[in-house]
Structure 1
Amino acid sequence: MAPRNPSDKPVAITMGDPAGVGPEVIMAALSALSPDERQGIVVVGSRAVLERAGKVVGSTLTLGLRGQAGNHGVVVEEVDVPGLKAEFGQLDPSCGEAAFRYIERAVRLTEAGETAGLVTAPINKEALNKAGHKYDGHTGMLASLTGSRASFMLLASPRLKAIHVSTHVSLRDAIGRATTERVLATIEAGNDHLKRIGYAKPRIAVAGINPHCGENGLFGSEDVEFIAPAVELARAKGIEVFGPISADTVYHRAYNGAFDLVVAQYHDQGHIPMKLVAFDTTVNVSLGLPIDRTSVDHGTAFDIAGTGKANHENMLEAIAYGRKLAASRH
């Protein structure tokens, strides 16, 4: 684990859905950090729910409210949610409302300069929508809350990284969204991010959308009509980008060092290889926003919530990546 954020502002961790494993993985991860590392963190959520989660994972950390005097193991930004029903593993609209309010508060804190960025625990999209917040997940919600025109999901692990042209839409809609403009914007966002975290000249591969990139129109024309022109435009801007490359080989090549980043055309094209090779260590990063956000790359896991079985390794990775971004922004 890297040392605490060198900025004088803490990183905010949003608690996620109170009925899921988010509170547990947060408390377990914070228990694994040193006292100095924990000083650079504030958890946005419910102290009562976090205390319950601490008992589940055997944590002995004390929790205090932000601004409250005293030396507390974990600092909490308390967000009140009237009528909250946080039963382990139970989907409830009040938990969707809570998840939204935690994220909204963390965004506002970061926009105001009180926190250095966000690390998010998992939310449940069904609970979120039942609470009246019609978002496809964190990425779209954060774009809306920050007034951003577009955002991009990047999945990062030590040996493989993928950025997505589209995410939570149907496959039919994903094909329509793979326009030259969107693919080019995705390449540029990925290139800028890798430069920010230390890559001097990132090598980016763009996956094709059809089998074998369409075989010159035999299996579809989208790769020739939309994706190849985006690659050429990116090259004209000085980006070291290759493609389109058949998706059935490009990840193997990237994993073995040929490329630093793969542009995936849709959700599963990027998520499946990432979760195959780095299920517990992949970090979800939102690009294109005025604030930094990293996240665990797993869901609320209602089936094991409250059992203490959830693995907190992914949360530690998300915290470390969030601190890296905070340091680079500083």
Structure 2
Amino acid sequence: MRHDSAHSSTSFGIACRRYHRHIRRHILFRAFDKGKKMVDVKNIYCGYDKKEVIKGVSFSVEKGNFTGIIGPNGAGKTTLFRAMTGALPLYKGTITYRNNDISKISARELAKDMAVIPQIVSVPFSFTVSEFVFMARFAHLGRFQAPGKVDYDAVDQALRSAGVAHLKNRDINELSGGERQMAILAQGFAQSPKILLLDEPTAHLDIKHQVAIMNILEKLNKERGLTVVVILHDLNLAAEYCNNLILLNEGKIHKKGGVNEVLTQDVIEEVYKTFVAVDRNPVSGKPYCRIVKGNPRVIRGAAQQR
């Protein structure tokens, strides 16, 4: 009888802790249903060693949007990314996630909603792809809570969504660059996030894997309503997949809006200091940027005389 009573008491205690975690989480994000903004960035300044890299940046990301952050090297894209994930303190301004100050949300609570895929992901030990992806579920588990069916199902679904289910027993450090990036994506998906932030997920990959990654992100965005914020260097990829763009230059927003507003010849030439021709993709109708070799004024003048 004493054993049954102790077991009952322990079960009751666990149930209470889970209930209180649920209530705290409900209270934390209770205001979200009142608006559509997932992330709201207001007049932020941040950087390193008291030196400002981001200066007076403001924008918002609405629920279900696919937002691209673009700009030349050194524009402040990764610094902004780190601030949005809560990893970099602000000198001034605020960033709210679901109407709550991101600096006041614990990393564990934030990880239940926000998946972050940085530019470089180091895996110092040998893990199978399945083990690596499963680490994403830790934020959803209590201190002594064992994984359950929902966790295993989330991992299986993530592996399938990223197209790496057939690699689940492989050592992640033995994969090709493209395969490894897909496995890293799967880990992000396994968090069951409401928003996914990615820093140059297509960097150093061939065109096949670039398109594969962007297609997966687009599918999850459209079919599951996953909000996506991605840093991209390839302007044509940004044009094809993003709904909205934020063009950074020297730590400030130079232009933001739809792809047709941002990716114009004048805007690109002014920011990138490179001559380009912006046409239309004959299939999608989206802006398509091409470099112009030589003196563009001479070339354009000759074209106008024909």
- After TM superposition, the score normalised by the length of structure 1 is 0.29
Q: Which has more radius of gyration? A: 2
- After TM superposition, the score normalised by the length of structure 2 is 0.31
Answer 1 or 2: which has greater strand percent.
2
